[in-house]
């Protein structure tokens, strides 16, 4: 214990040599009073005195006073417990701090390390600089600072919800070097690393070493949480750590937007294991309420996954017009399911049952004819906020030859290109444009989608107005319209690759996904205009908390 004790001003301890003199002063007594005869004194002598003045100072009181004097001397000498070894450098002290999310878990230890270094620098009258690396902000380099100023800066630093940008911090090193050159002396540089490797680490380390005596302190205890891309199964998350020297036990917790716990899944990482996948299995209704998934008791932004509307799943009803199972490899239902499986759950049931259920989207795959009662019920369901997606095909083309099929955004021409007549193309047509007024306005036009056949719409102003996607010759491939609070969309080709390459393209997935989220009956999803700038409601900080942003 005493071997770890040192003093900031050891010369003051010389005052301890004066304790014997203090002893003599405390033991000294005043001279005895002169005696004089005074008659009333005889009466006073007969009184019993309860308080008496001792001839000498009591030994215990004397020792107590000497102890207090010794303690006062020791306090003035500035005792320091576990003081760091004095460094050979007499130049400025530079702290390079990785204030990233990976450092948040042990942030208090880093602050203590900075405080200890700052106190030592203050005792020796050294100047302090502090450089942070998480973000290229104006106050990333602070200094020169006195010891007191550096301590205040260290206490106010907080980790950022970002990775360390050491490549960006290289630009600040030039400014730091100029300041160190002006001050002179050999600088002492302490790099408090977060343990994560980066592309510019070697260059950054070399630049620091060239400016002074470099010491690197790393504590690789960061824990990160990643969302595994959805595959239709329960959403899984991967927990990763840097150090597998000891076993780790924890839990994943899913919470709602109001902070209510919705699910909890235990996680174990045995010795030597650096990662584990853990599913969060919830019913669809609760899954759509999840706002965040976090590793319990790990205070770091890297241990939190925020869940927005893009992760919520819709409940979709599917009705196939072709014979055979809806999930047959040659059916449109197979390609529709494959496209939306990561984002939706499917229900196969008659139309009446689907309308009574909680589906938000109903897909009619090449349904040619609808009963009058079904048209009326489906129209009312769309008006209430549902989305109906129809796919053309031989059945719908046949129905268009006999009459105008109901519940379509545009009128169709019977026959035509769908069956190799006079209007058949000599070469396949590419997608040309998406309507700026349609739901696909911000989609890039793919160059790998070719349409070989389609069911034509009757030309006219209504068709042009309701065209959401068109081919190179100007004919629509997707039309749609709003009905009440919902929407109706028609793909003028089947959901199979027989007539076009669209069903096997990434654009098909995004189109169906965008249409599914037009429904007001499914999970809430607000769309902002392209390039819109929105004020944040909550901001994730480096500790994984969600405070309100400053005004």
Alpha carbon 357 to its chain's center: 35
| Total-model pTM | 0.65
* Assigned domain for 532 exists: no
- Does 388 share its domain with 318? yes
Contact (Cβ atoms closer than 8 angstroms) between residue 276 and residue 306 = no
**Is 60 exceeded by the pLDDT of residue 209?**
yes
- Does 290 share its domain with 388? no
CA distance 387 to 490: 11
- Looking only at Cα atoms, what is the longest distance across the chain? 152
- 56: Cβ–Cβ under 8 A, 6 or more apart, which residues? 27, 29
CA distance 172 to 176: 6
Owning domain of residue 173? 93-218
Q: Residue 457's beta-bridge partner residues?
A: 412
The CATH number given to whatever domain includes residue 119 is 3.40.50.410
- Does 355 share its domain with 499? yes
The CATH number given to whatever domain includes residue 452 is 3.40.50.880
**Is 50 exceeded by the pLDDT of residue 57?**
yes
- Residue 422 confidence (pLDDT): 39
Pull the structure tokens for residue 399: 């129905």
| Chain segment 252-281, per-residue pLDDT in tens | 999 988 889 999 999 999 998 999 999 988
Q: Residue 235's beta-bridge partner residues?
A: 280
Question: Is the omega angle on the peptide bond into residue 63 within 30 degrees of 0, that is, cis?
Answer: no
Stretch 183-188: mean pLDDT? 84
3-state secondary structure (DSSP) of residue 76? helix
Q: Which pLDDT band holds residue 45 (cuts at 50, 70, 90)?
A: low
Q: Could you tell me the sign of the dihedral formed by the alpha carbons of 122, 220, 97, 547, in that order?
A: negative
Q: How many domains is the chain built from? A: 3
- Residue 88 confidence (pLDDT): 55
Which whole-number Å values give the CA distances from 389 to 329, 471, 515, 522, in the listed order? 20, 19, 8, 15
- Does 339 share its domain with 415? yes
* Assigned domain for 431 exists: yes
Looking at residue 124, the DSSP 8-state letter turns out to be T
Q: Please tell me the least confidently modeled range out of 88-92, 223-227, 257-261, 484-488.
A: 88-92
Least Cα distance to 306 among 237, 222, 231 occurs for 237
CA distance 436 to 457: 20
- Does 319 share its domain with 404? yes
Domain end residue (candidates: 311, 327, 348): 311
- Does 307 share its domain with 410? no
| Chain segment 112-130, per-residue pLDDT in tens | 889 888 888 887 888 899 9
- Does 241 share its domain with 275? yes
Contact (Cβ atoms closer than 8 angstroms) between residue 326 and residue 333 = yes
- 217: Cβ–Cβ under 8 A, 6 or more apart, which residues? 113, 190, 191, 192, 193
CA distance 368 to 387: 18
């Amino acid at each position: 214990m005493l071997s770890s004790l040192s003093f900031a001003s050891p010369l003051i301890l010389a005052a301890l040599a004066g304790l014997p003199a203090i002893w003599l002063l405390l033991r000294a007594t005043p001279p005895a009073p002169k005696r004089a005869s005074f008659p009333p004194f005889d009466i006073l002598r007969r009184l019993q005195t309860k308080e008496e003045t001792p001839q000498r100072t009591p030994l215990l009181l004397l020792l107590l006073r000497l102890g207090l004097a010794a303690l006062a001397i020791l306090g003035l000498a500035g005792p320091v417990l576990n003081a760091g070894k004095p460094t050979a450098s007499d130049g400025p002290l530079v702290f390079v701090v990785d204030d990233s999310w990976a450092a948040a878990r042990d942030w208090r230890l880093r602050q203590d390390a900075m405080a200890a270094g700052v106190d030592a620098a203050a005792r020796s009258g050294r100047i302090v600089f502090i450089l942070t690396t998480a973000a290229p902000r104006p106050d990333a380099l602070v200094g020169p600072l006195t010891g007191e100023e550096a301590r205040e800066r260290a206490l106010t630093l907080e980790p950022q919800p970002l990775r360390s940008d050491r490549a960006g911090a290289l630009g600040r090193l030039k400014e730091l070097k100029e300041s160190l050159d002006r001050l002179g002396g050999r600088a002492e540089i302490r790099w408090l690393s977060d343990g994560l490797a980066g592309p510019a680490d070697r260059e950054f380390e070399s630049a620091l070493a060239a400016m002074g005596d470099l010491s690197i302190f790393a504590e690789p205890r960061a824990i990160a949480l990643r969302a595994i891309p959805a595959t239709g199964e329960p959403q899984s998350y991967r927990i990763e750590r840097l150090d597998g020297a000891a076993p780790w036990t924890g839990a994943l917790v899913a919470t709602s937007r109001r902070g209510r716990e919705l699910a909890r899944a235990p996680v174990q990482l045995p010795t030597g294991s650096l990662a584990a996948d853990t599913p969060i299995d919830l019913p669809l209704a609760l899954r759509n309420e999840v706002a965040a998934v976090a590793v319990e008791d790990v205070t770091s932004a890297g241990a939190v996954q925020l869940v927005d509307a893009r992760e919520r799943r819709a409940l979709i009803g599917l009705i196939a017009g072709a014979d055979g199972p809806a999930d047959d490899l040659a059916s449109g239902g197979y390609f529709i399911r494959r496209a939306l499986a990561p984002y939706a759950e499917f229900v196969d049931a008659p139309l009446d049952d689907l309308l009574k259920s909680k589906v938000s989207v109903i897909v009619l795959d090449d349904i040619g004819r609808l009963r009058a009662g079904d048209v009326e019920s489906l129209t009312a369901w769309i008006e209430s906020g549902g989305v109906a997606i129809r796919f053309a095909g031989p059945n719908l083309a046949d129905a268009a030859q006999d009459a105008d099929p109901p519940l379509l955004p545009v009128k169709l021409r019977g026959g035509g290109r769908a069956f190799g007549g006079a209007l058949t193309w000599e070469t396949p047509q590419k997608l040309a444009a998406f309507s700026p007024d349609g739901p696909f306005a911000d989609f890039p036009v793919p160059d790998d989608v070719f349409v070989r056949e389609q069911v034509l719409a009757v030309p006219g102003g209504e068709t042009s107005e309701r065209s959401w996607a068109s081919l190179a010759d100007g004919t629509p491939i997707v039309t749609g319209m709003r009905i009440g609070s919902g929407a109706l969309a028609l793909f003028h080709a089947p959901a199979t690759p027989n007539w076009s390459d669209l069903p096997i393209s990434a654009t098909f997935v995004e189109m169906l996904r965008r249409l599914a989220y037009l429904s007001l009956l499914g999970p809430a999803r607000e769309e902002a205009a392209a390039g819109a700038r929105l004020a944040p409601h909550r901001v994730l900080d480096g500790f994984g908390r969600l405070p309100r942003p400053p005004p």
